Chain A
Amino acid sequence: MASETKEPGAIRIKHVSKIYDPQGVHVEAMRDCSFDIAAGEMAIIVGPSGCGKTTLLNAIAGFDDITAGEIFLDGELISSPTYQIKPNVDRMVVFQNGALFPWKTVIENIAYGPMVQGRLTKAAARDKAREMLEWVCLNGMEEKYPEELSSGVQRRVEILRALINEPRVVMLDEPFRGLDAVSKTVMHEFLMQLFCNRNRTMFFITHDLDEAIFLGHKVVIMTTRPAQVKKIVPIDLPWPREHRIMNSKRYLELKGEILEAVHEEAKKAFQAGERELA
């Protein structure tokens, strides 16, 4: 039974590898990845596209298995080659292309989780959903269908749908991809506000280095496929952050450091891509 899990969880990833082998096509997506995410930490994962970041997310969420290594959540094994935990409310995913149910209104979407878990009655779940919408100034959107909303609002609603379940970990897979620069800054502040108010462990995948440094406690840089941990950069900027911080000297230093590491990998990925096409 899904119990109320108020405390954020700590993730430990130990020597995780993943090899896809559908009908003999051998693809090594991840090789010997190890890093920790502390409880309540905002960890940002960056790396070239298609490098296997989502593979790691799928393993933690319980969507897919791994071929070597172990993953722990609060010391409890959740994934290994012989064990795969089922997806559940303590590990919530916000999907890359958005997965709000288009046939449910905004409020039905948000209230869905607590309702099907049997944690809240329909009325209570709707009340709580309304409260959350008000809290992020999205009231008035309750009875709209997702496809009537701008993609920025859709993303915010989806994040609320995840948070209403009080998960131990929230995993976001490039949630703000495709948004324009202006909406992105709004989304960053939105996430910052959520994060400060309800401290959750976050596993955040992105391509956007500014987003990574602005939001993260630490940035985990992955290599091109097979994904390995190239570098972990702690972001020692003070919390809570405002956009002004992007002009600070420390910010630019960090950006330079990360940019260099990422650029090296991007070049390798590009060359590998050229080879694959040739």
Chain B
Amino acid sequence: MSTSRKTGLLNPQIMRALIGIGVFLALWYLLTAVLQLPRFKLLPNPLSVIAEWISFEPVSGRSIFTKAFYLDMGFSIARTLIAFSLATFLGVLLGLIMGWNRIFYDFSFPIVEILRPMPPLSWIPLAVLILPGVELAVVYVTFIAAFFATVLNTLLGVFSIDKNYFLAASCLGSKPKHIFINIVVPGALPFIFTGLQIAMGVSWMSLVAGEIISGQQGLGYAIYEGYSLFQFDQVVCYMFTLGILGYISSAGIRALGRRLMAWESRRRGA
């Protein structure tokens, strides 16, 4: 046990990773704090970022020991969670039905194709004007981003199912509802999860933009506020906070996917 841990630490993989990260931080520090090259001296250096992040009395009023930090996080997480869950529910449902029913597909696909190329963020002005309250507009923009990615991937998922599974299921005496539950849903699942993975990334991005442009609270808003108040350390802290949250959420989706798709990971030779 102890030997394995030892080799774990001395593992060249981990050593290289640590060196790589070390070099990155050192270079960052060198460029911004030591050499103070023309443009680089405007950027915060890693030490001041960390100092701000863990300070008891942060300049910006936002560190891991202040309520404001968790409030910002809470707002962003809640918005993303609401928008993403709604987009998953509606997107998967719409995608499955579109893939399953030819007539419904013929009617809905042209509209999806017209609305889809518009980047989610181009909806911001309209959403702010139309929807009551800025809060809803931010959630809507986040929702739209996740929604189309989910619909499209779910649809691709249904189309990816081998036609023989449908034939086999009909031979075995399945009624449409059996086919939907036993073939369409599990068959599309791998693509659905790819879609959710993409949707999560786009959601966070759109959320940040939505918060910057129209929000009142949340990490994106705080980043922009930090920028206008010249509190650049806090800006970088929040960038990494967003990165961590994004990473955790996509890792969560991956883990859920692995749980639901045991057959994929237990494939022969995989």
Contacts and interface: CB of A to CB of B under 8 A. Distances in A.
Interface stretch (A42-50, A145-153, A189-197, A204-212): A145-153
Nearest to A154: B268
B253 interface: no
A93 B167 contact: yes
A99 B167 contact: yes
A71 interface: no
B122 interface: no
Contacts of B262: 145
A165 interface: yes
Contact of A112 (B172, B261, B266): B172
Contacts of B172: 89, 92, 112-113, 116-117, 161, 165
A92 B170 CA distance: 10
A148 B266 contact: yes
Interface string A1-41: 01000000000000000000000000000000000000000
Interface in A103-156: 103-104, 112-113, 116-117, 144-150
B56 interface: no
B173 A116 contact: yes
For chain A, what secondary structure do more than half of its interface residues adopt (helix, strand, loop), or is it mixed? loop
Task: Give the interface size class of chain A.
Answer: 20 to 34
Interface string B160-191: 00101101111111110010001100110100
B204 to A, nearest CB: 30
Contacts, number: 76
A84 to B, nearest CB: 13
Contact of A103 (B168, B189, B268): B189
A101 to B, nearest CB: 6
B173 A63 contact: no
Contacts of B107: none
Given A63-B167, A116-B178, A147 B173 contact: no
Contacts of B266: 144-145, 147-148
Nearest to A97: B164
B267 interface: yes
B263 A145 contact: yes
A116 to B, nearest CB: 4
A117 B173 contact: yes
Contact of A99 (B168, B175, B182): B168
Nearest to A94: B168
* B171, B173, B187, B262 interface centre (most CB from chain A within 10 Å): B171
Contacts of B168: 93, 95, 99, 101
Contacts of B267: 145, 147-148
Interface in A142-184: 144-150, 161-162, 165
* B168, B170, B175, B263 interface centre (most CB from chain A within 10 Å): B168
20 contacts: A61-B171, A87-B167, A87-B170, A88-B171, A93-B167, A93-B171, A95-B168, A99-B164, A99-B165, A101-B182, A101-B183, A103-B187, A103-B189, A116-B173, A116-B175, A116-B182, A145-B263, A147-B266, A148-B267, A161-B172
